[in-house]
Amino acid sequence: MTSFNLKKITSKDPDLAFAILLSALVFMFFSLSEPLFFNINTGFAIMERFAVLGLVGLALTLCIIAGEIDLSIGSNAALSAVIVVRLTDSIGATNAILIALAVATSIGLIQGFFIAYLKVRAIVLTVGTLMLLRGITLFAADEKTVMLTDFDIPDFIQEKMFYIFSPTSFLVLGLFVLVALFMRYTKYGREVYAIGGARKEAVAAGVSLKRPMMIVFAISGLCAGIGGAIIGLRSGTAQPLGLQYLLLAATVAAFIGGVSILGGKGGVFGAFVGVLTVNFLNTGLVFNVTPAYIAQMYLGTLLLIVILFQNMSKVYEDKQRRQLKLADTDSFRKRLMQTLKP
Amino acid sequence: MSTTVNSKGSTSTLQAKVLTLVNENGLKIFLAVVALVFIGFAVTTHNYLTLFNIKTIIRDAALVGIMGIGLTFVTLSGNFFLLSMKETAALCIITFATGMSHDYGFILSLVASVAVAMVSGGLQGLLIGRGGNPIVVTLGAAGILYGIASWWSDNLVISFRRPNDAEWLGTGSVLGIPNITITFIVIAIVAELVLRKTSFGREVYLIGANRAAGKATGHENRSMAIKVCIIASVCCAIVAVAFSAQMSSAQANYFSSEFGSSGDFTILVIATVMVAGNSIMGGYGSTLRTSLGAVFISAVDNMMVLQGYNSGPRVLSVGLMIVFSILVFAYMRRDNRSEG
């Protein structure tokens, strides 16, 4: 009976089942191979990483659900980090964060508007804004790494509470819940799924392309902004050309979470699982003193494996559907022949 | 495809006129803009319009231009772009320099480097042709290729002795024209001829313009993706070899940090494809546009250097150029397309 139930679950949402399995496997592998991995301090470190990568992974998941991909996410986060670090000294951390978030969100809004209004693909526009935002960031940072003068200001965001959480990870978890509720229970959330999964049909049914696209990219900008602000405040420094690695890690997380590049698939819970998997992997690799480029190599391999898995399951589904259809027409022909016989 | 632009009748006459004008004379208008930039800034910038400086501009455009030409094949065939350009080049430059430092000679190192590029490009093309999204596949491949390059070289600089038999490509010149520039021009001409005169070239355009029609007539993207990815990767290998020959050394992060003001060479390559108005959706454009785009970006960059700007404004200007050209061309073609 158990195997039957398992089959039922996996056939209902095979991608999510795969994601949870993968995440558990990675976690178990490092728990068994590294004696210090299964530990409250490691848990705290994982949650701290989750705060940043979770945001970007969530943002990218939403974009991919809407059938688009936001390549400018790393540049946007870097701009936000530079703004926060530069302005904190003069106007205080709170104001600096507010300004950075406003800038990041409006960048997202403008991108979403142009994508919907000009019917241009997001990858095309965002690869341009990627460079544009780098230029603006270099400009804002005077082409050098900016630094806080008082490193005590941002300590409050990484205070430990409830064993493995901090204010930032609580904030990010709260945001996950909010976005999940938004996507599931509001009209706007369903519109995002609609323009991703079946854009022509959705537009024909009267869904405006503009609103969901602007919502998605605004959320994406906001998430990148918060992520950048957290990184900037936590380390006290910000590099104008940094944070390029976020895109790969977030894409891996989103695809493990079960999104499809064709859009309309996946969800916030999947993104959560995907980000956790990537965090387990990244944190586990730190224990082995793995250089960053090797970690990147693992992430790239993981991404290609997940894509292969998705493609194979899609080919399998298509085959099954075709066979069903064939069987259908066969039985129809048989019945037809029988009625024609006498 | 340019004659059916106004079939909907919803466009205003002025817009339609501009649309037809740009669609039919896009290259001429682009040339005029390039000429205007040259003339405009020649007046204001000291030492800009000297023969030496123009040669410098074209030589600077050569490396990014060669990679851009390779990428144009991918873009024209409707496979967007590869985000693994600079990482492919990184792996190739390590391969080449390792070969050179072990005294295998120029030819053997070049062949090894091109072979590596063909394998990595072919594998990426295989995944893309089987329905993988080009952006996502090459994003993953980029991580792997860069990882291999760094791991192989231990992230150290590999240098090889001077004099060597690769120097002619890096620093040599014929009649005062650097050999890298000549390579660029030759590749540009060959690529343009391949696209215009061979059946392969027409197949690229067909599959890019209308994938369904291509499939119906037996031209599948499955094999095309492999071919165009190999072409793009081999162009990366050529650039890597030329750059390594110039420096007599190699490191995995040469294409990330050492040159290109933005620190992201791939985006600069994509910029050369986009600025000249090649359609990113495929089927429309040419390698000639890309070559001119590379020269254009190089010319603007050179001008800004001579005017004394830092990297911030220069990256900003390239970014503005890309976004501006995307928005303008998207606006022009907006009514031409039923769905985004």
Instruction: Tell me, yes or no, if A9 comes closer than 8 A to chain B by beta carbon.
Output: no
With beta carbons under 8 A apart, name residues in chain B contacting A138: 310-312, 315-316
Does A248 sit within 8 Å of B330, measured CB to CB? no
Token pair, residue B74, equals 């991918």
CA-based max dimension of chain A: 96
DSSP string, B60-120: HHHHHHHHHHHHHHHHHTT----TTHHHHHHHHHHHHHHHHHTT--HHHHHHHHHHHHHHH
Residue B190: closest CA among B133, B155, B234, B129: B234
Question: pLDDT (tens digit, 9 = 90+) per residue, B32-42?
Answer: 776 777 677 77
Q: What are the average pLDDT values for consecutive 10-residue runs of chain A, which has 342 residues?
A: 53 75 86 79 82 90 90 91 88 87 94 88 86 88 81 70 78 90 88 86 85 91 92 84 84 87 83 90 82 87 86 81 88 87 72
pLDDT score at A167: 81
pLDDT score at B263: 59
> Which is more confident, B261 or B257?
B257
> Where does the pLDDT of residue B336 fall: very low under 50, low under 70, confident under 90, or very high at 90 and above?
low
Number of domains within chain B = 1
With beta carbons under 8 A apart, name residues in chain B contacting A247: 139
The top-scoring range by mean pLDDT among A7-16, A288-297, B13-22, B194-203 is B194-203
Mean pLDDT of B296-317: 83
> Which is more confident, B116 or B171?
B116
pLDDT score at B116: 93
Instruction: Tell me, yes or no, if B71 comes closer than 8 A to chain A by beta carbon.
Output: no
B17 within a domain of the structure (yes/no): no
The number of CA neighbours under 13 Å toward the Cβ of B108 is: 8
With beta carbons under 8 A apart, name residues in chain B contacting A132: 316, 319-320, 322-323
Of B267, B314, B339, the CB nearest to A200: B339
Of A130, A248, A261, the CB nearest to B143: A248
Contacts of B144 (CB under 8 A, 6+ apart): A297, A300, A301, A304
Residue of A nearest to B328 (CA): A118
Residue B114: exposed, middle, or buried by beta-carbon count in 10 A (0-12, 13-18, 19+)? buried
Contacts of A224 (CB under 8 A, 6+ apart): A55, A56, A59, A73, A74, A76, A77, A80, A104, A108
> Where does the pLDDT of residue B8 fall: very low under 50, low under 70, confident under 90, or very high at 90 and above?
very low
- In this predicted structure, the answer to whether residue B209 has a pLDDT above a threshold of 70 is yes
Residue B100: closest CA among B167, B150, B152: B167
B195 within a domain of the structure (yes/no): yes
Mean pLDDT of B238-265: 77
Mean pLDDT of B2-14: 51
B46 within a domain of the structure (yes/no): no
The CATH number for B91's domain is 1.10.3470
B248 within a domain of the structure (yes/no): yes
B115 within a domain of the structure (yes/no): yes
Contacts of A115 (CB under 8 A, 6+ apart): A68, A121, A122, A125, A213, A217, B340
Q: Within the 193-222 window of chain B, which residues sit less than 8 Å (CB to CB) from chain A?
A: none
With beta carbons under 8 A apart, name residues in chain B contacting A300: 139-145, 147
Among A104-118, A186-200, B43-57, B276-290, which is the least confidently predicted range?
B43-57
Q: Within the 72-111 window of chain B, which residues sit less than 8 Å (CB to CB) from chain A?
A: 80-81
pLDDT score at B6: 43
Mean pLDDT of B231-246: 91
For residue B168, the enclosing domain spans: 60-332
Cβ-Cβ pairs closer than 8 A, A with B, add up to 170
pLDDT, mean over chain B: 82
SS3 at position B261? coil
Residue B317: closest CA among B308, B336, B304, B331: B304
Residue of B nearest to A307 (CA): B132
Residue of B nearest to A126 (CA): B323
Instruction: Tell me, yes or no, if B225 comes closer than 8 A to chain A by beta carbon.
Output: no
B8 within a domain of the structure (yes/no): no
DSSP string, A73-90: HHHHHHHHHHHHHHHHHH
Of B313, B318, B334, the CB nearest to A131: B318
> Would you say the C-alpha torsion B121, B127, B129, B131 has a positive or negative sign?
negative
Does A307 sit within 8 Å of B136, measured CB to CB? yes
Does A124 sit within 8 Å of B340, measured CB to CB? no
Instruction: Tell me, yes or no, if B64 comes closer than 8 A to chain A by beta carbon.
Output: no
CA B48 to the chain's CA centroid: 25
B5 within a domain of the structure (yes/no): no
What is the nearest CA distance from A293 to chain B, expressed in angstroms?
A: 5
What is the nearest CA distance from B277 to chain A, expressed in angstroms?
A: 12
Does B131 sit within 8 Å of A311, measured CB to CB? yes
With beta carbons under 8 A apart, name residues in chain B contacting A308: 127
B167 within a domain of the structure (yes/no): yes
Cα(A28)–Cα(A80) distance, rounded to whole angstroms?
A: 36
DSSP string, B155-177: T--EE--SS-TTHHHHT-EETTE
With beta carbons under 8 A apart, name residues in chain B contacting A127: 81, 267, 270, 274, 322
The ipTM estimated for the assembled molecules is: 0.84
